[in-house]
Amino acid sequence: MHICHINLASGFSGGERQTLTLIQQQAQMGYQLTAVVNPKSPLVNELRAIPQCQIVLCPHYTRRHGRSITATCDLVHVHEGRAIYWALLQHLLHRVPYIVTRRIDNPLKKKWLSQLAYRKASALVGLSSEIIHQLEKRHPSAKLVKIPSSPVTYPVSQDKVEQINAHFRGKFLVIHAANMYAHKGFDVTIEAARLLADTSPDIQFCLLGDGKERASLEAQAQGLTNVHFMGKQTNMGDWFAAADLLIHPSYTEGLGSVILEAMAAGLPVIGARAGGIPDIITDGISGLLIEVGASSQLAKFITNIATDTAFRDHLITGSLEQAKTFDVSQTALTYQTLYQKVKDES
């Protein structure tokens, strides 16, 4: 099977890592692969390590629409918002079918071009039940399939882990990793840290990320000695190995791939009942769920995990088991079934 993946993001965040993970798995399965990617993205260099993958550099969705790019492809797989328009144009020009993987749980745009692009897709994939719900509201007659992300595995540098451990020696280390957008709930984390500052000074919070909300968050955390802004991280494996707990109290979330990654790395997790997070955390078994915005509940749950070793071990066991069900080998097989159906119907 020959699949053309397209991701036109210029950065390299969760969606791009998920795209790369799937392509790597499909290469192992013997797929022939083409990837249409933004030349500014670090994804380009990652894909160059995959011999089976032909790379097409495309700075904008209106560019690189030659027939030869998809002449032998069974379909185009869209992984990022703007990329759907590239797939739509390629479909209109050369009749190649496409599917769309949607990663965010926001309501879909009402703009005519966006609606046309989604309507022309052979299938729409949502990472979570909430994303499927949003797709169904705008496109009720579409072929909708829920296929979650898979946890990315990161290398671990023991030297880096030891540096982190040395800095937080004897502390219970809580991490919150995401781009610093308002919906990611960093304000909830800081308020939980404020509640624990005097009663539980051994619990320390590392905020891993950067973005437009950082300045306001730093102002919110002013005076707190248990909150540390560590900036954007290129290798989460070191932090997963060094930390004691990952929290992700988002106000909205497509799925929460960093939660899956932490679970697969053997960390207990706390997330919010928002978006797709309840799809991956079974409350009390593979992690804990708080109500959206509930900083006092978050503080209580963090304390429970920090002080109850048996409970923490119970959650770790459950998270490791649940993470196995999201392994990329299973995800790739689910996509393969969908690809075949689209191919047969085209």
- Map out the domains of the chain as residue ranges: 2-150+327-345, 158-324
Q: What is the pLDDT of residues 145-191, one digit of tens each?
A: 999 999 988 999 999 999 999 999 999 999 999 999 999 999 999 99
The three-class DSSP label of residue 326 is coil
Q: Is the pLDDT of residue 234 over 90?
A: no
Residue burial 116-131, b: 16+ Cβ < 10 Å; e: rest = ebbeebbbbbbbbebb
Q: What global pTM score does this model have?
A: 0.92
DSSP for 53-93, please give it: EEEEE-SSTTS---HHHHTT-SEEEE-STTHHHHHHHHHHH
Is there a common fold for 2-150+327-345 and 158-324? yes
Euclidean distance between CA atoms 245 and 302, whole angstroms: 8
Assign domain 158-324 to a CATH class: alpha beta
Binning pLDDT at 50, 70 and 90, where does residue 132 land? very high
Euclidean distance between CA atoms 138 and 21, whole angstroms: 29
- For residue 187, how many other CB atoms are within 10 A of its CB? 18
Whether the CB-CB separation of 79 and 19 falls below 8 Å is answered with: yes
Euclidean distance between the first and the last CA atom of the chain, given in angstroms as a whole number: 14
Assign domain 2-150+327-345 to a CATH class: alpha beta
